Amino acid sequence: MINKTEISAFQLVFLLIHVQIGVGIINLPYDIFLKANSDAWISILLSGMFIQLIILGYSFLIKRFPNYTIYDMHLTLLGKWIGSLIIIVYILFYIMSGSLVLANFVYYIKTWLMPRTPSWVLIGLMGLGAIFILKENLQIIARFLVLCSVFLIGFIVAAFYAFKFANITFILPVGSSGITAITKGIAPSFLSFQGFEMLLIFFPFVKASNRTIIKSASIANLFVTLFYTLLVLVSLLFFSKDELKLVPEPVLYLIKAFSFRIIERPDLLFTSMWIVLVATSFIVFVYGATLGVMTLTKTTRLNYVITILTVICFIIALNIKGVYNTSNASTLFHMYLIPIFIFFPLFLLVVSLIRRKKEVNNE
């Protein structure tokens, strides 16, 4: 256990929401649509339910080790060597997550907003902002995230406004793409939920009972699932099938298609809101990696760790260029997801059951 700062269950909800909702929301409908066709929204709902089951599974670990982060659990249960090795995998995973967020961020900003601004400026600004917030403790980060939730409302309002132009026949008849297509759509939608597993990193810092923690995580999951379903549904209803195949960022394109008397290009406004959502998930990813490094090295110099990690992300992100490169990097990264989501926690639970090990209560 590193920091004694505590956050409330309310803040945990927003922490989890913001780490999940990030860079991917603007192209999420497209990715799922490619697999699940016009039933993409069902895939999202199904994966939401699936994630909920995993969260319930996590509750067994949380019950056994109420004051340990997942890093501490690895060290205690698996011994110094294997535990450290797995923690390194986790750290690499979060560094990669952060870098991909930055790389995608720059890619979209360059296509949508500022084609001529060099990448290092954009990534650099994002990195500096992140360092600035990360230097504070978890409590302040959590407060910041709660504030940032205003921007989610913007997207929800835009989505409901888009229903004005919806064409219901685009998704009818429900289920026409078949069960196999819907199941295939679960894989890309699963990715978009990445970040919920950080519950296992943050729960010891929450000042609430285990039940409340699981409840908060479920609320966050419910919100994220519904939010994604809304975005996917609106994109499906707005674009016809063949058009959606051509539009890789349907959410922004949809907003670009609106025009109001005062705001002629609302997509610029929404891109700015989206930048904040990108920043929040980047911040939490780096924080997750930082906690790992601190558990591993037992250092207390938070500022150094944060700066180094951000710079690493900066360098990796600069080297992922272009749309094809980014998607290659993502595929590599996706192979980590299942172990991190399910395999490692499950393994820990089994080991702790076999070795009958529980947290030593020294308080």
Partner 1 sequence: MNYQKLLPLFFVMTCLVILTACWDQRLLRDQSLILAIGYDKAENNALKKTVTFPKNTNAGSQNDEQNLSEQGSNTLSVIGNTVKNAENKMDESITEKFDRSKARVIIFGTDLAEEGIFSTLDSVYRDLRGPLHANVVIFNGEAEDALNIKSDQAAITSDLYGDLLESADKAGITKNKSVQHACPIILGEGKDLVLPYLSIDEPKDEVVVEGVALFHKDKMVGSLNIYQSTMFLLLSKQLAKYTSLNFEVNDKEKDPIKRFVDFKVQKNKRHIELNTDDEDIHAKIKMEIDIEIDEYAANHLSDEKKMNKLRRKIEHKLNELAEETITVTQEANSDVLGLGEMLKAYHYNVWEKINWEEVYPEMNIDVDFSVNIIRHGLLN
User: Least distance in Å: CB of 313 to partner 1?
Assistant: 17
Least separation in angstroms between residue 214's CB and partner 1 is 36
> Least distance to partner 1 from the beta carbon of 250, Å?
11
Cβ closer to partner 1: 75 or 244?
Answer: 244
Nearer to partner 1, 109 or 329 (CB): 109
Q: Return the number of the residue (128 or 315) whose C-beta is nearest partner 1.
A: 128
Is the CB of 117 or the CB of 300 nearer to partner 1?
A: 117
**DSSP state, residue 172:** P
- Would you say 98 and 285 are in contact if contact means Cβ atoms under 8 Å apart? yes
What tokens appear for 106 in the block? 């720059």
Reading the block at residue 60, the tokens are 């067994």
Q: Which two tokens stand for residue 245?
A: 């195949």
In the complex with partner 1, which residue's Cβ is closer, 85 or 114?
114
For residue 106, the minimal CB distance to partner 1 (Å) is 13
Number of other residues whose CB lies within 10 A of the CB of residue 337: 18
- Per CB under 8 A, residues contacting partner 1 are 111-118, 121, 125, 128-129, 131-132, 135, 167-170, 172-173, 176, 238-243, 246, 256-257, 259
* SS3 of residue 2 by DSSP: coil
Two tokens at 247?
A: 């539009």
**What residues contact residue 184 under an 8 Å CB cut-off, 6+ apart?**
35, 36, 43
* CA gap 107, 324 in Å, rounded: 11
Other beta carbons less than 10 A from residue 212's beta carbon:
15
Alpha helices in 163-249 (DSSP H): 178-192, 199-202, 210-238, 241-244
What values do phi and psi take at 66, rounded to 5?
A: -65, -15
- The residue among 72 and 249 lying less far from partner 1, judged by its C-beta, is 249
In whole angstroms, the minimum distance from the beta carbon of 245 to partner 1 comes to 8
CA 255 to chain centre: 22
Q: Measured from the CB of residue 351, what is the shortest distance to partner 1 in angstroms?
A: 43
φ/ψ (deg, to 5) at 50: -60, -45
We find the least distance from the C-beta atom of residue 142 to partner 1, in angstroms, to be 18
| Nearest to partner 1 of 22, 266 (CB atom) | 266
Whether the CB-CB separation of 121 and 323 falls below 8 Å is answered with no
Question: To the nearest whole angstrom, how small is the minimum distance from the Cβ of residue 27 to partner 1?
Answer: 15
Task: Kindly tell me which of 170 and 333 has the beta carbon lying closer to partner 1.
Answer: 170
Q: Is the peptide bond before 115 cis (omega within 30 degrees of 0)?
A: no
Q: Of the two residues 26 and 55, which places its CB atom closer to partner 1 in the complex?
A: 26
Residue closer to partner 1 by CB (options 164, 298) is: 164
Q: How far is CA 62 from CA 9, 211, 352, in A?
A: 14, 10, 12
Whole-number minimum distance, CB 117 to partner 1, in Å? 4
State in angstroms the smallest separation of the CB of 253 from partner 1: 9
Residue 292 contacts by C-beta under 8 Å, 6 or more apart in sequence? 71, 87, 90, 91, 94
Local structure of 176: helix, strand or coil: coil
- Measuring CA to CA, which residue among 352, 358, 353, 345 is closest to residue 55? 345
